[in-house]
Structure 1
Amino acid sequence: MAEQSYILALQPYLALAKSATGRAAADLVMQATQAPGVFVFSELLEMPNIQALAGNADGAKYLALLKIFAYGSYGDYKANATTLPPLSPAQLHKLRQLTLITLASQGPSHLTYASLLHTLDLPSTRSLEDLVISSIYASLLSAKLDTKSALVEVSSTAGRDVAPDEVPAMMRTLHSWGGVCEEVLADLEAQMAAIREDAVRSRREREEYERVLAAKREQGRGGGGGEGEKGGKGKRGMAEGGEWEEDEMDLDEAGFGEAAGGGGGANTSKRRTKGRLGLGFGGSGRRR
């Protein structure tokens, strides 16, 4: 979001650069570099009329100054101040802010007051803290001031324009990062394949277990039915045998009665009944 607002703030100067030439183009550089909210300059630097400033010595100074604001630092300006246009307080403040972004993004996350005061050529701790606070409000960085330890704790920064000579190093970094990503993806794919194999093996083992368990249950049901059937047959045999013995006893008693002289139907009936009710006493009944 912050970078987008910086580009929008640059749009009026891009429109003017389409027609500005010579001294007008040089003045446009000075206006853009001190305008509030403008912190990116590569689009302006690429405009043909701005590039044309390199055609003469006076214009080349303004083109070099614009390059410093795009991807240089306060130290770069200080080292070449005699060959560059003088800067206004607003331009100096902005260039220090841009330099702070570079220091925070390339160096340690904890920047000491002492190193910043020296690098940015600031006169006091108060001026340094004001610079950091203004940079935070401009969304150039996210940071905290540790006044007790005299540190600036930076958590993130806005992006700056990329210098042409920085592109190869960035490409190498991206290529290396891409290789690491490919290795991580290959490792993840191998782990996923192993997990899938384990899942298939577990499913097969579960299916085999369920198959064996079902077979055992079926076998158990079949064996229990056979024993019940055998037991049933035995009981029926005993019942049939008992009926046969009773019938045989009746026949014996009937023959005995007839041999005794045919004592009448009533006596014969009583003996038959008694013999059926008291099977254990049949012998004494016949003696009587």
Structure 2
Amino acid sequence: MDIERKHAELIDLFVKQAAVLDGPALAGLVLEATSHPSLFAFSEILSVPTLAKLEGTLYSSSLDVLRLFAYGTWSDYKCNAGSLPALSPDQVRKLKQLSVLTLAETNKVLPYDQLMQELDVSNVRELEDFLINECMYAGIVRGKLDQLSRCFEVQFAAGRDLRPEQLNNMIQTLGNWLDTSDGLLHLIQDKIKWADTMSEATKKHCKEIEDRVEEVKKSLKKLNTLSRQTWTYEATRRCSLNMEE
């Protein structure tokens, strides 16, 4: 939770700075944001109105770079490297980290061969070092390195920025989840009511049994008393008869 709070504070800082900058200063801010070791979400910065003003200017490539870091991968950069500025080592590392997050969105078991191809890594040692030092230590993913099966088993991965065209699908997914949650909540409430009803019925039944037991005890006690009285009377009568004889 502390990491999330710091990340939110960092985004807020860049958003506030972007809102009052323009031209080369704004391009410099984009470079700083996309190189920052603790920043992995960029859509809020991208939505600042001043960024849109870079479109069609000398600094429009900075806007393209910010879009790349918000939604793209290292493979996307390689495919469009001719129209994008060269990236610094920090930016390259960041974009490769984001690429791992993108792969983890759709598959929780990532083969080493796929990762090496996507990240331009030449050997397993280099790949595992990257996953450990640049991804797991950074807190953006957790998982298990399976050298025998040559794969990375993802247990947790931070979410990436949603593309605008993904929003409707996300809203629908959340709506479906909400409907399912409401249905489950109603089912639980019905089960609770049923359990309460059964509990009351059980209590009532137990009370009826206890009352019946008490009645039987009283009846037995009366019967026992009556039996003793009868036995005493019979014994007295017999004694009297014996004395008369």
TM-score with structure 2 setting the length: 0.84
In the TM superposition, what whole-angstrom CA distance separates every residue of 1:72-94 from its partner, at most 9, and x where no partner exists? 22222223222222212221111
Residue 242 of structure 1 and its aligned partner are, at CA, apart by 8.4
CA change 1:124–1:167 in 2 (3 A) is same
Match of 1:215 in 2: 215
Alignment of 1:81 with 2:81, yes or no, is yes
Larger radius of gyration: 1
The 2-side partners of 1:213 and 1:190 are apart by 34
Match of 1:44 in 2: 45
In the TM superposition, what whole-angstrom CA distance separates every residue of 1:34-70 from its partner, at most 9, and x where no partner exists? 133222222322222222212x243332212101112
Residue 95 of structure 1 and its aligned partner are, at CA, apart by 0.3
Match of 1:261 in 2: none
In the TM superposition, what whole-angstrom CA distance separates every residue of 1:106-151 from its partner, at most 9, and x where no partner exists? 22x2211111122223344343223212111211111232233321
Match of 2:121 in 1: 122
The secondary structure found in structure 1 opposite 2:152 is strand
TM-score with structure 1 setting the length: 0.73
In the TM superposition, what whole-angstrom CA distance separates every residue of 1:174-195 from its partner, at most 9, and x where no partner exists? 1222222233223323333332
Do 1:141 and 1:157's aligned partners in 2 also have CA atoms closer than 8 Å?
A: yes
The 2-side partners of 1:211 and 1:218 are apart by 11
Percent of aligned pairs sharing the same letter: 30
The 2-side partners of 1:173 and 1:17 are apart by 32
Larger displacement relative to structure 2 (229-238 or 211-220): 229-238
Q: Counterparts in 2 of 1:1-288, with a 5 A limit?
A: 1-10=2-11, 12-54=13-55, 56-107=56-107, 109-133=108-132, 134-233=134-233
> 5+ residue gaps in structure 2?
none
The 2-side partners of 1:63 and 1:234 are apart by 116
Do 1:26 and 1:62's aligned partners in 2 also have CA atoms closer than 8 Å?
A: yes
AA aligned to 2:38 is: G
In the TM superposition, what whole-angstrom CA distance separates every residue of 1:202-225 from its partner, at most 9, and x where no partner exists? 222222222222222222222333
Aligned residues: 243
The secondary structure found in structure 2 opposite 1:40 is coil
The secondary structure found in structure 1 opposite 2:58 is helix
Residue 198 of structure 1 and its aligned partner are, at CA, apart by 2.6
The 2-side partners of 1:208 and 1:180 are apart by 42
The 2-side partners of 1:223 and 1:110 are apart by 79
CA change 1:222–1:12 in 2 (3 A) is closer
CA change 1:231–1:174 in 2 (3 A) is same
AA aligned to 1:212 is: R
CA change 1:208–1:67 in 2 (3 A) is same
The 1-side partners of 2:17 and 2:198 are apart by 67
Larger displacement relative to structure 2 (97-106 or 57-66): 57-66
AA aligned to 2:155 is: S
The 2-side partners of 1:10 and 1:183 are apart by 36
What value does the CA root-mean-square deviation take over the aligned residues? 2.7
In the TM superposition, what whole-angstrom CA distance separates every residue of 1:231-272 from its partner, at most 9, and x where no partner exists? 4445656777889x6xxxxxxxxxxxxxxxxxxxxxxxxxxx
Do 1:70 and 1:161's aligned partners in 2 also have CA atoms closer than 8 Å?
A: yes
